[in-house]
Structure 1
């Protein structure tokens, strides 16, 4: 007989662990399955570790709503659980007068999305905060911060396990069947299903579409196309004269090569945007010159010889090159008609910030 559990979450990234915690707190002790040896090995450990304020996203979108809601939930959770984080603030700057209109657009969009605390800065005011940042003008986001993403995932997992959740790593799901009102999980190489549950949450990130297409009874029309955008980070070997996170105005496909700081003060520049056909974390050393040029637009005095390739991440996207950026796709029974099933697609930035709000939404769908 196949073992039955209260709920199954596939994918132990930050969103999957937040969902597992939310389900466990609601009395549905979930089994969390992840194909890697460690939780959070994909997008959740290959990002900027930024807590976003909810600035860039179209009003009415899931990204806008869940980012603002998730930001407040995340800061509250971190303060209550002792997860390392810091509200550094972020400066979004215009290189020249031609980009000032973009700052107007960002400010208006942020206000409509619920991020009301942006402050417009003149070039002189920017230099008072960051003397090494010449620009035509900027916005200050005091609610933006940084976080220890691994510490966050540990805290989410610990609370989920304290309420009955169980994590099993090294368990790659091959397909999902349907029998007697439950979802049955087949693992790689298995002849029989390993476990079943009336509730299944597909939080597989970069593999979410592949898993959904291997789910019995789910109409493929409810599975959006998958696109991948690699973002490379270069680290800086030395101190930088910045206290805030520094962002240019956004570029197509991402937020532009920006400067972020980790909790130890280490600076990194990135990510850039490179569309790829399959998940690949390789870094071309030839990108150094491009990164140096982008970094020197933020910090003209930067010593390019101190820049070195750091790491790469891959964004799971639902729209491709040249298309308008896609929203989160959170597809539940009311959408596709499959009882107890929730699929999460395109959970890229601001997925980390939105994770706890996404979890609340998912728990509401399965209830």
Structure 2
């Protein structure tokens, strides 16, 4: 027997939950399928929890536009929902004249992106904010902050469920195919779903999921690349109250210092290209490179102060030698499969951009399918019940 469902979102990370919430609030019947035993256990739980201001992304890119718009929306959302967060600000620090020139270019780009409060500081002004720093100049971003990512995801879940949506855990999608009037999915426990709309928000697994769904979209699937980011935590208290970043690298923002909401410091991520999204162990020997990178801007870092923390995988769609890519969102216009939307390469600033991404996908979905029948919610409850058995 095949259950009919209006809309399925695959993946209950922060972006998948934000998309599902937006669809449900718009009146769609939404079912979220998550392979893991809890929401947000992968990339959404293995990052810096930073709310970015939109400084570093190419002007006009989706990353730039959605980061700036998403940051404003997310600060408002967290305040309204009581999600713990803090607008602590960050310093991007230069160590020489060449890097200082790079910061000047970064400021111009930040202003072009709409992050107008970003300003250049000379050495004395930077040290007035953070006396423990070493730098020749710095870029000050007062609107960068931190957020309790799990609290954010719980708030998104609450909104989704209040709007009539449902989440089913431990339910991987095994196979699918594009069919008349939508997409058919087969879950790992044998339940068949006929969906008017399917949103692939599976993060690092999005290209693999797309390959398990037969249809004309197959020729447009990008190659997944896995850029592991390792984090080390600090034993003791750091003498900083703001986030500290070096000048950005090609595939990341460098080994930076971030703070959690309790003030505990952590460092990372670095960039380590791996072959599997499951390579999440932290090699303690990588600390040597961390000490060298951190002491560029914090010379007083004590020996033995770094402890292996955790690792996350950036869901990239280009390799070490590739050009930097933007968020890639494909709908029927791009790949020709009716009712199917793929979200690829949703790496940083995906957390900051989640509400803006959700708004975009919700607008796309309006044109994909007709309004659900009045019986839709009953069918959704029946499908949810079968999946939960």
Is the CA contact (8 Å cut-off) linking 1:212 and 1:218 kept in structure 2?
no
**CA distance in 2: counterparts of 1:318 and 1:139, whole angstroms:** 29
Q: Distance in 2 between matches of 1:62 and 1:222?
A: 19
Hey, what's the Cα distance between the residues in 2 that align with 1:81 and 1:194? 36
The offset of 1:180, in angstroms, is: 3.2
The answer to whether the 8 A contact 2:53-2:144 is kept is yes
Q: Where does 1:51-90 land on structure 2 (aligned, <5 Å)?
A: 51-90=51-90
- Which runs of structure 2 are paired with 1:23-102 in the superposition (5 Å)? 23-102=23-102
2:320 aligned with 1:334:
no
Q: SS where residue 5 of structure 1 aligns?
A: strand
Question: Superposed, which structure 2 residues align to 1:266-305 within 5 Å?
Answer: 266-279=264-277, 280-305=279-304
**Which residue in the other structure is 2:202 paired with?**
204
Match of 2:213, SS?
coil
CA distance in 2, matches of 1:65, 1:106: 16
Q: Where does residue 342 of structure 2 map in the other structure? A: 343
Unaligned stretches of 5+ in structure 1? none
Cα distance between partner residues in 2 of 1:136 and 1:296: 14
- For residues 233 and 38 of structure 2, the distance between their equivalents in structure 1, rounded to whole angstroms, comes to 24
Deviation of the 1:214 alpha carbon: 1.5
The alpha carbon displacement at 1:337 in A equals: 2.0
**Structure 2: how far apart are the matches of 1:318 and 1:8?**
24
Q: 1:226 maps to what in 2?
A: 224
Tell me if structure 2 keeps the 8 A contact 1:205–1:346. Answer: yes
CA distance in 1, matches of 2:303, 2:222: 41
Deviation at 1:92, TM superposition (A): 0.4
How far off its partner does 1:2 sit?
1.3
CA contact under 8 A between 1:333 and 1:365: conserved in structure 2? no
SS state at 2:88 partner: coil
SS at match of 1:228: strand
RMSD: 1.0
CA distance in structure 2 between the aligned counterparts of 1:290 and 1:178, rounded to whole angstroms: 48
Give the Å deviation of 1:114: 1.2
Contact kept in structure 1, 2:171 and 2:189, CA below 8 Å: no
Q: What displacement does 1:189 show?
A: 5.7
* 3-state SS of 2:304 partner: helix
Written as runs of structure 1 = structure 2, the 5 A alignment for 1:3-42 is: 3-42=3-42
For residue 311 of structure 1, give the secondary structure of its aligned residue in structure 2: strand
Any conservation in 1 of the 2:12–2:39 contact (CA below 8 Å)? yes
Q: How does 1:142-181 map to 2 (within 5 A)?
A: 142-181=142-181
Cα distance in 2 between the residues matched to 1:294 and 1:231 = 14
TM-score normalised by structure 2 residue count: 0.92
Distance 1:151 1:300 in 2: 35
- Answering whether residue 130 of structure 2 is matched by residue 133 of structure 1, we say no
Is the 8 Å Cα contact of residues 24 and 165 (structure 1) preserved in structure 2?
yes
> Structure 1 length normalisation: TM-score?
0.97
